[in-house]
Amino acid sequence: MLLFKDDDLGDAADEKSKFVSGTSTHKDATGRTGVQKDHAVMLTINGQTHGSKGEYFLKSLGYSKVASDTVVIAEFDDLANLGMVNMFSPSRDTLKDSPQANKFLNALEDALEGSDLLTDEEERRRAQRGNAEPATDTDTFAEFIERNPEVGNFMATGERIRAPRIRPSDGGNESAPESADDNLSDHTDTSGGDENGGDAPHAPKLPTFLVPIEEYNPGSEEHVLWEADEPMPVETPVNGSATVRFATDAQNDYLARDVLSGTLEVSCPEQLRAIELQDGLLTLTVDPPEDADPGKETALSVELTRPDPRDCSSVDDPADAYPERVEADVATDGGVNVDTASLTARCQLEYVEATDNSHSPSESESDGDGDGEGDTTDTSGDDGASASDREGTAGNDGVTDDWGFEMPDIAYVHEKNWRTNDDGEPINPEEFNADDARNFDEHTLIHLDPSQDGTISGLSLTINMDAAALRSFIVERNVKDTWKEFVEQHYELAMVFYTITMYRDYVGEYGTSLKDTDLITAEVVSRSINALAPTIMPTIISDDQLDRITE
C-alpha cells in the first residue's frame, strides 16, 4: 500500500504526479503508472494487472481525503490456475462476480478499514479543514432536539414522524378563519358542497349518529355496521395497531373548526395514535399497551361531544344546527329542548399474536387498502422508542446520551479559506487551504466526508459560512446587526440537520454507497444539500421573522 502525503514532497513530487489523478503529468501519461483514479486498487499476477478498483472503492470505505493519494497492490503471483479462473474474467482485466472474488473483496475491505496508516492520515487531513473556530456547541443541538423530539427519535431509531393525531381533511375548503363576530359567512364546512351538492360552503351542522363499522368496504359508501348491544370486537396484534372505523354524519372539520365544534374522548387516550374524520368516516388508529399479551382485552369507549347550539350567536334557530334528515323526535321547541348528549360507541380490543406484515408507521391505514379492524401498523421503530418517550439532551462531548447517537464532526470554512483571485492566487495566503479550495466556492453550502462505520458520528461535515446564499440574504434583506447571528445559527442548524437526516435515510435504504454506480452516499447527500442553495434561506427564515429582524 502506497500513500503519498500531501505535504511538500520535494524531489518526489514529480514521481507522485505520475501515479495520482488530477495532475498534469497524469493527464499526459501513457504508461501504466498514471492510472490511479481508475486503478487505485490493482490486483496483479506477475506484475500484470488482472483486475482493479478505482478511487470509488477507497471512498466507499470512508477514505475520502486520502483516496486520490493511495495506491493498493494485491499480488496473486502464487494463485493456482483454478483460482485464477474462479477470480478473474477470461479477458483478465476484471474480477468475476463469484463467491471467491466476493470473499476476497470483503477481506480486502476489512484489511483497509483496519489500516492505521490510512485512518491516521485521513483523520489528520480532516482536522486541517476550515479554521480552528468551533462549530455550534452541542447545547444548541440539544435544545433543537428538545424542541423537536421527533428529529432526535429519527436519528436514534429511524422511526419516521407520525401523522398528527387529528389529521386534516384531504379535500374541500380550507379551515375556517377566525372571526370577531362569529358570522356564519366566515366559516366553511370541509365535508364538501352545499345542500344541493355544489361546491359552495354551508352552515356547520352537529352530528347525530356514531356507529362502529363491522365490515369496511374500501371505495364504497356501503359498509356493514355493528348492530349488537355489546361492544364490537377488534383484533389487535401485540406488535402492531388497530384501525377502528365508525360511520357518522359529523362534518370533516367538526373537531377543528371554530363554530359548533366537538371533541373526541376515548377511554384509553394514551393508546390513541391518530384521528381522521373524512366524508362520514371516523378512523381511529389505536396502539396496544406495552404489556399487551395475546388473549388479553381492553375496553375502548368512544365519545363524540356535541356543543349547545343555543350558545352560538351565529345560529338563529337551534334546529338549523342539525341535518335536515333528523326526524322530529329531536325537538327544538323554540330552542329549549335541544339534544346535546354525546354520541357514544363501544369496542373491545382483543390482542392476538404478533404479525410479520405490519406496515411502517408512515403508511396511512385509511388509504383504502385495509379491510377494517384487522389493519395493522408497526410502531416499534428500530428499538421500540417513540418520540414521546424521550427527551433529547447532549453533553459537552457531543453525545446525545438519551437518544443513543452522537453528532457528526462539524467545522466551518470561510471565504478566506477557499477563495482565490482572478490569477488563481489565494486572497489570504495565511488562511488559505488547498483542500477547501477544491471543495468549496460561493455556491457550495457544505462538504461531507463519509463515515467509515456508517454512523452519523463518523461523518465530517464542513459548512460554508460565506456561501452566497447566506451572505446575500443578510445583505439584500437588510438584516439588523443584532440579528445576523440568529440568521447564521438557523442556517447552520438547517445544514446540520438536513444533512444528517438525509444521510440517515439514504444509508438505511442504500448503504454507504450506491451499488452499480461510482456514487458514495455522502457525495449524493452533499449534492442534494448544495442544490438547495437558491431556496434555502427563504425556507428557514419565515416572512414574519423577516419583518422582525430587518431594517
For residue range 483-520, list pLDDT tens digits in order.
998 899 899 989 998 998 899 888 888 887 877 777 88
pLDDT of residue 157: 65
- The dihedral over CA atoms of 173, 179, 185, 189, expressed in degrees to the nearest 10, equals 30
pTM (global) more than 0.85: no
Cell for 198? 355544489
Residue 477 carries which side chain, given as an amino acid letter?
R
Sequence-distant (≥ 6) Cβ neighbours of residue 213 within 8 angstroms: 223, 224, 225, 226, 245, 246, 247, 281, 372
Distances (CA, A) of 540 to 491, 495, 537: 7, 10, 5
Which residues partner with 88 through β-bridges?
Answer: 95
Please tell me the distance from the alpha carbon of residue 508 to that of residue 495, in angstroms, as a whole number.
Answer: 20
Helix and strand element counts for the chain (H, E) = 15, 19
Using alpha carbons, select from 435, 42, 1 the residue that is nearest to residue 34: 42
At 74-113, the pLDDT tens digits run: 998 888 777 788 888 877 678 888 888 889 998 998 899 8
DSSP 408: P
Examine the pLDDT at 335 and tell me if it is beyond 50.
no
Examine the pLDDT at 308 and tell me if it is beyond 70.
yes
Tell me the average pLDDT across 18-29: 49
The answer to whether the CB of 237 falls within 8 A of the CB of 354 is: yes
Distances (CA, A) of 450 to 106, 114, 171, 434, 504: 19, 16, 43, 19, 12
Q: Which domains does the chain have, with CATH numbers?
A: 2-121 (no CATH), 138-159+389-549 (no CATH), 162-380 (2.60.40.10)
Cell for 96? 468475476
